């Protein structure tokens, strides 16, 4: 009487019984496919969570009445170190941008060019304030309606070095006869490429 001691199961692939090596290859391919599916599901879940967070912030902004804009220093006397659109950089601002550019390795020239290209005529970009410690840039913009500002902020997210969007506050500029809306928001900065602004700033400071 003959006994068959091979208890390992045999699979049939393409009409032939599989060998142990082929079974190992099939198992490995299956594992890779499962890992890829799990990774895709995790990325999709993260994107859905970020979208839900932004939608919640937008709903909160719409539900909150706009506050009158408090009087503040003019663009030529600001002391917060921010860059006001259309204003020449002071020595302190140049030094601050150099430090931030070195720290985050961000191409600041590309950032400002991106903002100029993406800002429509109906939106006035009031100020741009980079924060090297937090890795963010804070923007203040004005328009006739809050919806226009929300659409503008959402359009900037994900462009170039601009990352996740966070809304801060919205106000009514009572100092302007047209009483435009002002929105303050922040964008994360993505240091993905070599900074190109430092040489330009050094050249401009000479």
Query: pLDDT for 126-184, tens place per residue?
Result: 888 888 778 888 999 999 999 999 999 999 998 888 889 999 888 876 776 777 899 99
First to last CA, the chain: 98
Q: Which residues contact 205 (CB under 8 A, 6 or more apart)?
A: 91, 94
| Mean pLDDT of the region 25-48 | 68
| Residue 77 pLDDT class (50, 70, 90 cuts) | very low
The reported pLDDT for the residue numbered 52 is 62
- Give the Cα separation of 144 and 123 in Å (integer): 8
Over 60: is that where the pLDDT of 73 sits?
no
| Mean pLDDT of the region 32-44 | 69
- Alpha-helix residue ranges (DSSP H) falling in the chain: 20-63, 91-104, 108-118, 146-156, 197-205
Q: Which residues contact 12 (CB under 8 A, 6 or more apart)?
A: 18
Of 15-19, 37-41, 65-69, 170-174, give the range with the top mean pLDDT: 170-174
Over 50: is that where the pLDDT of 196 sits?
no
Q: What is the pTM of this model?
A: 0.50
Of 108, 106, 73, give the one whose Cα is nearest residue 93. 108
| Residue 125 pLDDT class (50, 70, 90 cuts) | confident
């Amino acid at each position: 009487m003959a006994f068959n001691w091979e208890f390992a199961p045999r699979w049939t692939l393409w009409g032939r019984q599989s060998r142990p090596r082929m079974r190992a290859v099939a198992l490995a391919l299956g594992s890779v496919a499962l890992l890829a599916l799990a990774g895709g599901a995790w990325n999709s879940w993260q994107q859905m969570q970020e979208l839900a967070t932004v939608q919640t912030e937008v709903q909160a902004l719409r539900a909150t009445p706009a506050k009158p804009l408090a009087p503040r220093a003019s663009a030529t006397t600001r002391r917060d170190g921010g860059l006001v659109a259309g204003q020449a950089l002071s020595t302190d601002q140049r030094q601050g941008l150099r430090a931030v550019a070195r720290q985050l390795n961000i191409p600041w020239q590309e950032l400002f060019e991106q903002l100029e290209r993406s800002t429509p005529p109906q939106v006035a970009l009031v100020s741009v304030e980079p924060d090297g410690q937090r890795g963010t840039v804070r923007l203040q913009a004005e328009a006739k309606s809050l919806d226009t500002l929300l659409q503008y902020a959402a359009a900037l997210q994900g462009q170039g070095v601009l990352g996740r969007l966070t809304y801060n506050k919205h106000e009514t500029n009572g100092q302007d006869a047209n009483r435009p809306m002002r929105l303050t928001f922040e964008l994360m900065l993505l240091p993905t490429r070599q900074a190109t602004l430092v040489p330009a700033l050094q050249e401009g400071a000479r």
